[in-house]
Amino acid sequence: MQLKDKVALITGAASGIGKEMAIEYAKQGAKIVIADLALDAASKTADEIRQAGGEAFAVAMDVSSEEQVDKGVADAVAHFGGIDILISNAGIQIISPVVDYAFDQWKKMLAIHMDGAFLTTRACMRAMIEKGRGGAIIYMGSVHSHEGSPFKSAYVAAKHGLVGLAKVVAKEGAKDGIRANVICPGFVRTPLVDKQIPEQAAQLNISEEDVIKKVMLKDTIDGEFTTTQDVAQTAVFLAAFPSNALSGQSIVVSHGWHMQ
């Protein structure tokens, strides 16, 4: 077990990639805080982990709310005695050409992806520094932390922003043994991507099959989707890494789409 007795707070862990990371972390011995907007689904994930013999509890958290983030992190610290790992993973997608992108939608995207990363980082860093046992912070970036794609201006801007935030947190956190890194997955079949396939088909006037083959997977080395398990394994590796040698970096997990 690579994460025995570590406490991990994972945002957006009621679904998709976050859920898989929560289940994998629990298998590796971590105690899990499932922080999600969707409390019912978060509680179900926590139940699943407990039924499999792990430790988990759910907190309701809108990551763009300062009050809810600070309360959720305080509840997590009270419940498990500290936080060792933060995975800032909650995210949504809103696609539209720049010229049609509504300002309130832009602000919503930046609030969830950027404010959410900042607020959870600040609260968890404070808790990590107070306990004095170091920590690992992982941001869920994307290949779109390094590449651009049409219709995804807010998403691409926010995912690039996470790389900048991780670099600063790595520098500020080093003296307290806190590392910060970004995972950059390619396309993963989750509800977030399933929703985009028909939307992109309509936007581009092509079939859904062509969205998958000619848009989403066209630059991979083997035409394969990345899996939630691929991302979860990378998240275990980053959290378990034993020194500050690996900090302030981003790792692309994408079947070769965007080689650095």
CB–CB of 231/20 below 8 Å?
yes
Q: Is 36 in the site for ligand NAD (CB under 6 A)?
A: yes
Q: Is 248 in the site for ligand NAD (CB under 6 A)?
A: no
Residue nearer to ligand NAD on the CB measure, 81 or 223: 223
Rounded distance, CA 184 to CA 186, Å? 7
Rounded distance, CA 232 to CA 82, Å? 22
Q: Is 7 in the site for ligand NAD (CB under 6 A)?
A: no
Helices (H), the chain: 16-27, 39-51, 66-80, 103-110, 116-131, 153-173, 191-204, 208-210, 228-240
Least separation in angstroms between CB 3 and ligand NAD:
20
Known catalytic membership, residue 101: no
Which DSSP category does 3 fall into? Answer: T
Least separation in angstroms between CB 216 and ligand NAD:
8
Least separation in angstroms between CB 178 and ligand NAD:
21
Sole binder of ligand NAD in the list 129, 193, 206, 236 (CB under 6 A): 193
**Residues within window 171-190 making contact with ligand NAD, judged by CB under 6 A:** 185, 187-188, 190
Residue nearer to ligand NAD on the CB measure, 36 or 84: 36
CB–CB of 158/111 below 8 Å?
no
Q: Is 212 in the site for ligand NAD (CB under 6 A)?
A: no
**Residues within window 120-159 making contact with ligand NAD, judged by CB under 6 A:** 140, 142
Residue nearer to ligand NAD on the CB measure, 20 or 84: 20
User: What is the signed CA dihedral for 26, 5, 76, 245, rounded to 10 degrees?
Assistant: -90
- Among candidate residues 117, 166, 112, the one with its CA nearest the CA of residue 9: 117
List contacts with ligand NAD (CB under 6 A): 11-12, 14-18, 36-38, 61-64, 89-92, 112, 140, 142, 185, 187-188, 190-193
Catalytic site positions: 155
